[in-house]
Amino acid sequence: MENSCKNVYITTPIYYVNDVAHIGHAYTTIIADTVARYSRLIGADTFLLTGTDEHGQKIAQSAEARGKTPKEYADEISGKFRKLWDDFDITYDKFIRTTDEEHKIGVQKAFETMYNKGDIYKGDYEGYYCVSCETFFTEKQLVDEQFCPDCGKPTNIVKEESFFFRLSKYEDRLLKWYEENEDCILPRAKKNEIINFVKGGLKDLSISRTSFDWGVKLPESINEPKHVMYVWLDALMNYITALGYGTDEKNMNYWPAKIHLVGKDILRFHSIYWPAFLMSLELPLPEHIAAHGWWTRDGDKMSKSKGNVVNPKEVADAYGLDAFRYFMLREVPFGQDGDFSQKALIDRINSDLGNDLGNLLNRISGMSGKYFDYKVTSKDVERFHKKELDEVNEILANVESYIYKMQLNRYLEDIWKVLTIANKAIGDYEPWTKMKEGKEDEAMALVALITNIMARVALLLDSVMPEKISKIAASLGIKIDTVTYKKLLVNKELLEDTTITKVEQLFPRIEELLLEQAKPTDVSKTETEEKSCKNESTVLEEDNLITIDKFFETTLRIGTIVEAQEVPKSSKLLKLQVDLGEGRNRQILAGIKEYYDASSLVGTQACVVANLKPAKLMGMLSEGMLLAARDENGLSLVRPETSKKSGTKIS
């Protein structure tokens, strides 16, 4: 209970508003939410922050490309992020936007403080800038003299008047901080990379821009109206302005942050610039800056151009939010890259959640019902099962340390060890045999042992799967709160007499993929995902080019839709019978219900991917796929200009 009395402040990165949320954003936010929920449960005064990063050249360009003002555009996308986190029941205490007035005032105050201290000076910047990463580079850092070393996109030459932050002044203090605080950057391997980078020498950082105006103005006292702040200075300050820095400082008692959660691509900003800014402001430094890895899909890098970006809402809607949360946290050791595949998710659901957890609950309710009319008493547990109980308590005594070191996969692994002890005990002690032998007290002790284990597991899993755990808690008649946590997990007490209630199966077995695989039509694409900077539109990503032979591996044919029906309970799917000139119709499930009336499709033609492996969607066979295109005005099927014979090959 190291944190039970202290304040715990946890932050996610603030997300750029040039893209809607994808699995990577969901991952960071789910980890942060889990740690926040856990902290609250153990009694810590907790503050979870998330929000959106809305200034800078990238956002200004994205807005312009859509004919919107940056603010209109930011309002729209920021609203989508917030809605998603609300749908995901993320327990944020504040959702900050960098366009909030309080934030701007706070950032200006920070700038002024650093300026008055002599840490900021005016000069001229000459170098390269990657709009996509919002990062300055020197010529030496570029790849092939032109490309961004981080994202590979072309950089722009920048030559403009700029204010600079004396980053070089903080080099030694940063190195000292890394050295004295073992876990200040997690995981350790990443920390070493940062240390080596800093040892290589730090240059002063350009922190204002004059070539565009979508940003926070410099403080009036400095009287430089043509400068706006560099977006990373503006963005990093959100961690203190959200607590009221520079305005109403009432929440500054949460500072310093316990954990800043970030992706590995933005660790440098957080572990070099941010602590240096804080040193300049004479504020305490965060306890941990934790960098997670990147997610791929089915082994492939996710990219908008490939159309294989995982939409977290779709996955959660199809497989359940709690299962998705569990999968993300369990599947990948923190800091490593992870791969999302529906198969891996289904395996976790069927095996870990269905077999190990869900079935154990069913067995508790089955046995307690059959033998003891659902009444369970713990009075003989220590007498017959001291060994198992001690083992369980010992494993669980260590799990808290995993949470704050971000080793959530190990946290879950240990909880699963405990579930294994419970499941094994049933096989070892066979309560049904004990009942036959008239040893009711032994059978009761076993049922009570697993009930007590399940109660501990429920408390620990509540932060990961709050919805399902509320059902387990209701079934065991326990409360998930700090008092119960202290009683069972800190004081290691046993439950009072409990009455078990039957519950429905928590994780029904899943036999087939519930979502369509990545689609060439890119129907999953979002309306905001066109090029985020103009340069990009002219660049073909080398790894996306294919040979003509590869293209011809896909057989495209004209299909005539002869029947169309809505799929009940699906907001997206229509069930179509399509004639491809094969002497029989093919059944194709298409995610176009939001855009087409079933009846309007009958008799029309569409382009069909004809050699796609059949797949089952919502229990129904789909033997192909229709091509469609989607932009901000909606979705259209791709059709021949004039009617063609069913089955005509497209090339």
**How many whole angstroms separate alpha carbon 53 and alpha carbon 97?**
6
One character per residue 34-53, x = contact with ligand MSP (rule: CB under 6 A): -------------------x
**Sheet order of strands, 156-165 included:** 135-137, 120-130, 156-165, 205-206
Q: Report in angstroms how near the CB of residue 513 gets to ligand MSP at its nearest.
A: 21
Among 44, 48, 49, 302, interactor with ligand MSP by CB under 6 A? 302
**How many whole angstroms separate alpha carbon 191 and alpha carbon 405?**
13
Q: Is 533 annotated as a binding residue?
A: no
**How many whole angstroms separate alpha carbon 425 and alpha carbon 423?**
5
Closer residue to ligand MSP, CB minimum distance, 43 or 215 = 215
- By rule CB under 6 A, what count of residues binds ligand MSP? 19
Q: Is 184 annotated as a binding residue?
A: no
Q: Where are the alpha helices (DSSP H) in 398-465?
A: 399-404, 408-429, 431-436, 440-461
Q: Is 80 exposed, middle or buried (0-12, 13-18, 19+ CB in 10 A)?
A: middle
Q: Is 5 annotated as a binding residue?
A: no
| Sign of the CA dihedral running 16, 134, 192, 22 | positive
Closer residue to ligand MSP, CB minimum distance, 262 or 564 = 262
Closer residue to ligand MSP, CB minimum distance, 462 or 536 = 536
Residue located via tokens 């009287």 = 223
Closer residue to ligand MSP, CB minimum distance, 53 or 442 = 53
Q: Where are the alpha helices (DSSP H) in 354-407?
A: 359-372, 381-397, 399-404
Binders of ligand MSP in range 46-85 (CB under 6 A) = 53
Among 197, 294, 416, 595, interactor with ligand MSP by CB under 6 A? 294
Stretch that binds ligand MSP, among 167-175, 185-193, 232-240, 626-634 (CB under 6 A): 232-240
Amino acid at 247: T
Asked if 263 is part of the footprint of ligand MSP (rule: CB under 6 A), the reply reads yes
Q: Report in angstroms how near the CB of residue 14 gets to ligand MSP at its nearest.
A: 5
Asked if 406 is part of the footprint of ligand MSP (rule: CB under 6 A), the reply reads no
Distance from chain centroid for Cα 34? 11
Among 38, 295, 319, 372, interactor with ligand MSP by CB under 6 A? 295
Among 3, 8, 13, 392, interactor with ligand MSP by CB under 6 A? 13
Binders of ligand MSP in range 435-494 (CB under 6 A) = none
Beta pairing partners, 125: 160
Asked if 606 is part of the footprint of ligand MSP (rule: CB under 6 A), the reply reads no
Stretch that binds ligand MSP, among 168-176, 263-271, 410-418, 499-507 (CB under 6 A): 263-271
Stretch that binds ligand MSP, among 69-77, 261-269, 420-428, 590-598 (CB under 6 A): 261-269
Q: Report in angstroms how near the CB of residue 493 gets to ligand MSP at its nearest.
A: 41
Structure tokens at 235: 């963005």
Q: 275: cis peptide before it, omega within 30°?
A: no
Closer residue to ligand MSP, CB minimum distance, 294 or 595 = 294
Q: Report in angstroms how near the CB of residue 190 gets to ligand MSP at its nearest.
A: 12
Q: 256: cis peptide before it, omega within 30°?
A: yes
Cβ atoms 323, 349 nearer than 8 A: yes
Amino acid at 596: Y
Q: Report in angstroms how near the CB of residue 13 gets to ligand MSP at its nearest.
A: 4
**How many whole angstroms separate alpha carbon 454 and alpha carbon 474?**
12
Asked if 151 is part of the footprint of ligand MSP (rule: CB under 6 A), the reply reads no
Q: Which residues contact 57 (CB under 8 A, 6 or more apart)?
A: 129, 131, 134, 209, 212, 214, 231, 533
**How many whole angstroms separate alpha carbon 262 and alpha carbon 239?**
13
- Which secondary-structure segment (H or E) carries 177? helix 171-180
Nearest alpha-carbon partner for 339 in 318, 308, 316, 362: 308
State the maximum Cα–Cα separation within the chain, in Å, rounded to a whole number.
90
CA end-to-end distance (rounded Å), the chain: 66
Structure tokens at 84: 């998603």
Vertex 624 angle, CA 597 and 296, to 5°: 100
Among 84, 110, 266, 328, interactor with ligand MSP by CB under 6 A? 266
Stretch that binds ligand MSP, among 260-268, 504-512, 551-559, 583-591 (CB under 6 A): 260-268
Amino acid at 487: K
Closer residue to ligand MSP, CB minimum distance, 236 or 381 = 236
Q: Report in angstroms how near the CB of residue 348 gets to ligand MSP at its nearest.
A: 18
Stretch that binds ligand MSP, among 185-193, 233-241, 414-422, 634-642 (CB under 6 A): 233-241
Stretch that binds ligand MSP, among 180-188, 206-214, 230-238, 600-608 (CB under 6 A): 230-238
Nearest residue to ligand MSP by CB is: 263
Stretch that binds ligand MSP, among 69-77, 106-114, 234-242, 377-385 (CB under 6 A): 234-242
Asked if 265 is part of the footprint of ligand MSP (rule: CB under 6 A), the reply reads yes
Stretch that binds ligand MSP, among 9-17, 169-177, 402-410, 640-648 (CB under 6 A): 9-17
Beta pairing partners, 229: 208
Among 36, 41, 236, 447, interactor with ligand MSP by CB under 6 A? 236
Amino acid at 361: L
One character per residue 14-33, x = contact with ligand MSP (rule: CB under 6 A): xxx-------xx-xx-----
**How many whole angstroms separate alpha carbon 244 and alpha carbon 276?**
20
Residue located via tokens 């009036």 = 220
| Residues making up the binding site | 130, 133, 148, 151
**Binding site residues, ligand MSP, CB under 6 A:** 13-16, 24-25, 27-28, 53, 235-236, 238, 262-263, 265-266, 294-295, 302
| Residues making up the binding site for Zn(2+) | 130, 133, 148, 151
